[in-house]
Amino acid sequence: MPRGKSPHALDLPRPTSWLDKAGVNKQDGAYEALRSAILTKMLPAGSRLPSSRTLAERWELSRGTIETVFDRLHAEAYVTRVPGSGTRVCAVVPERFLMAGFTDTSPVGPFSEPVPVSDTGVRDGLPFVARRADASLFPMAAWSKCATRALAAATPEQLCSADPAGLLQLRQQIADFLAKYRGIRCDPQDIVVTTGIRHAIDLLARGIVRDGDKVCLEEPGYPAARALFALAGAVPVDIAVDAEGIDCAALAAHTDACLAYVTPAHQSPLGVTMSVTRRLALLEWANDSGAWVVEDDYDSEFNYHSAPLAALKALDQYQRVIYCGSFNKTLFAGLRVGFMVLPPALRPPLLRIVQLTGRSVGVTQQLALAAWMEEGAFVRHLRLARLAYKERRDLLLACLEQVAPGRYTISGQQAGFHCVLWLPPDADERVFCALAAQEGLALQPLGDFCHSARLAPAVLLGYTALSLAQVRHAAQKLGRLLLLPAPGAE
C-alpha cells in the first residue's frame, strides 16, 4: 500500500478465520470480520468501504449477504451510508460509549472530564415514567434460541449447582464485561449473583450494618436505599450532592460511619457524574474511617455524548468498595438478575447470609444470560438500545424547545433513562405534576428524592420506554403546560 494511503476494505484478505469458522454462518462471519477491522483500526475513522458488489466478489459471497452486513453495521453505528458517497467508517464507533475511560493497570487512568447524567421511575408506557428500559427492544427470539441451547447443553451438576455465589459461567462473563467496559479487574470468585440492586443493598445491610450504625447517603438520593438501611437499624446521615457528586468535605465529619452509599456514574436523581477528585477523596475517607463504600453503578451503560469514566471500584486500592450492578435496567425489569463485586473480607459473611436466606436467582436464567453474553449479544443489545434511547431523548428536547422555548431548564440529559426539567423558581412542582396527570402525563417531583434538602422546583422526565410517537405527543402536551403561568405561584 502506498505510504500515507488509508487502508481500504478491499485491501483486507478474505477473512477465512471468520468465514470458515465452524458454527458461524457467512453473514455473521463477514460482519465480525469488518467489525474487527474497524475496532482494531485496520479500517480507521473515515475509511471508505468498497461497493457491496466489489467486496462480495473478493470475499466470494453473495452481494445480498454483504448488503445485509453493511446494513447491520450501519444500524449499530459502525458505518455511515450516504447515497452517492458510499459506506464509510464512523468517526466514533459504539464501543467508545461503553468502554471505561482507561486501559492500563495503574490505579488512576486517563479519565475524561466528568459529564452530568440522570435516573428514576414507575410504570412503562406512560409518559414520562423514568428508570425503565424498553423491553420491546429486547431480542426475545434470539434470547429464546440461546436459552434453549444453553439448557440443552447443561449438565446435571450445573442444574443442581449449590454455589450460593451463582453460576460460575455467568460470573466469568460478568468479570470479563467489567474488565472491558467498566475498568474493573476482578475474579469470578469476587462476584455474587443477586436479583438486582435492592437485593444487593438488603444483603449488605444485613451483613454490615448493626443497630445504631451511621450510614451516609446522597441527598437527594435513592429512597429505597434509605428504607433498606433503616430496616437494618441504621441511622441515615444526609450528605449533600453538588455538581461534582457527594460532598466529601461534609463526609469527613462522619468518620464513625460504617458505610456510604453512592451512585457515582449517574447520580440518582440529579444525574451528575462524580469527579475523579471526589472519587479519590471518597476512597481516602473510606480507608481512613474503615468504612465501606457501596457503588451503585446506575445507568453507566448509556452515555450519549462521551465514554463513561471507569467505575469507582476500578480505583479501589484499599478494597473498600462494594460494586453493585443489574441487568434489570439494561435488558428488562422482569429479568431479576444483578450482581455484586465483593472485597475479600466481605465474601464469607455475605455468602452465609445468601445461603441462610435462600438463593433467589434461578439457574435457568443464569445459564441463558451467560450464554447470551458469551456470544456477544449483550454488548450488541447495549449498542442498539443506546442509539434508540438517544433518538428519543433528542426528539424530546427538540419538541420542548420548539413548543416552550425559554420556559424551563434541562439537566442530566447527557446520559441515562431520564433528564431533570427545572421549572420556574416560583412554581410548585407538585401542583405542576397534578396538572400534568390531568393530561395523562406521569411526572415525578424532585422532592420525592429529598429528605432534608430543599431544592428548586423540578420534575423528572423519563423517555427510554416510550415510542417516538409517544415522545412527540407527550412533549407537545408538556410544552403547552410550561407555557401556562407558573403553577403554584402567588
Sort 105 into a burial class: Cβ within 10 Å, 0-12 / 13-18 / 19+.
Answer: exposed
Sheet with 245-246, strands from edge to edge, namely: 191-194, 338-341, 321-326, 292-296, 259-262, 214-219, 235-242, 245-246
Cell output for 429: 412542582
Q: CA–CA separation, 251 vs 257, rounded Å?
A: 9
Q: In which residue are the cell numbers 485491501 written?
A: 11
DSSP-derived letter for residue 348 is H
Q: Give the pairing type, strands 409-411 and 418-422.
A: antiparallel
Give, for all 490 residues of the chain, the pLDDT tens digit.
444 444 454 556 777 777 777 767 888 888 888 888 888 888 888 888 888 888 888 888 999 898 888 888 887 778 888 776 788 887 666 665 666 554 443 433 333 333 333 333 344 568 898 678 898 899 999 899 988 999 898 888 888 866 889 999 999 999 999 999 999 999 999 999 999 999 999 999 999 999 999 999 999 999 999 999 999 999 999 999 999 999 999 999 999 999 999 999 889 999 888 999 999 999 999 999 999 999 999 888 888 887 778 899 999 999 999 999 999 888 988 889 999 999 999 999 999 999 888 777 888 899 999 999 999 999 999 999 999 999 999 999 999 999 999 999 999 888 889 999 999 999 999 999 999 999 999 999 999 999 999 999 999 999 999 999 999 999 999 999 999 986 655 4
> For the residues of 370-422, what is the DSSP string, one character each?
HHHHHTTHHHHHHHHHHHHHHHHHHHHHHHHHHHSTTS-EEESTTBSSEEEEE
Question: For residue 208, what are the CA distances in angstroms to 195, 211, 269, 354?
Answer: 19, 10, 25, 14
Sign of CA dihedral 287, 210, 349, 354: negative
Q: Catalogue all structural domains in the chain, each as residue range(s) with its CATH number.
A: 26-95 (1.10.10.10), 135-379 (3.40.640.10), 384-483 (3.90.1150.10)
Containing 75, the helix (H) or strand (E) segment is helix 63-75
Q: How many CB atoms lie within 10 A of CB 183?
A: 24
pLDDT of residue 171: 97
Q: For residues 113 and 277, is the Cβ–Cβ distance under 8 A?
A: no
Sign of CA dihedral 279, 285, 290, 294: negative
Q: CA–CA separation, 17 vs 428, rounded Å?
A: 63
- pTM score of the predicted model: 0.78
Q: CA–CA separation, 31 vs 230, rounded Å?
A: 51
| Alpha-helical regions (H) of 165-247 | 168-181, 197-208, 223-231
For the chain, the straight-line distance linking the first and the last C-alpha, in angstroms and rounded, comes to 74
